Amino acid sequence: MELWTTLIYGFAILQLISGQVDYKWILAGDSVSLFVDTDVDIDGLLWEKNDVANDEWVRQSTLNLTNVTVSDSGSYDCYYSNPASSEADLIPIKAFELFIIGKKTTQS
């Protein structure tokens, strides 16, 4: 089991290193869905924004952000932690860089 975990972790790291970051540019006020296509147990999925975990985003393969603002810009990472394992290793699944572009206002 430890070898399997090491292989999965190594593969995930290689994906991140080799440019598997999904860059998204969104206009403020729009919505965006960050989706991970994985066959792991959804109970082990968790999301972080800028390296901070959000308890509301646990066990979700899709992260839906609505009416985004510039403050929603940042790094979003999805991790897998095997709920049946006694180890607390987080395996990176996918990384997103989200850039929110503020709408230009015109002066009258």
pLDDT digits (tens, 9 = 90+) for 53-82: 999 999 999 999 999 999 999 999 999 887
Higher pLDDT, 6 or 77: 77
Residue 16 has pLDDT above 80, yes or no: no
Q: What percent of the chain has pLDDT above 90?
A: 51
- Extract long-range pairs of 43-49: CB within 8 Å, 24+ residues apart: 43/83, 44/80, 44/81, 44/82, 44/83, 45/78, 45/79, 45/80, 45/93, 46/78, 46/79, 46/80, 46/81, 46/90, 47/76, 47/77, 47/78, 47/79, 48/76, 48/77, 48/79, 49/74, 49/75, 49/76
What is the pLDDT confidence band of residue 31, given thresholds at 50, 70 and 90?
very high
User: What percentage of residues in the chain have a pLDDT greater than 70?
Assistant: 75
Whether this model's pTM surpasses 0.85: no
pLDDT the model gives residue 41: 80
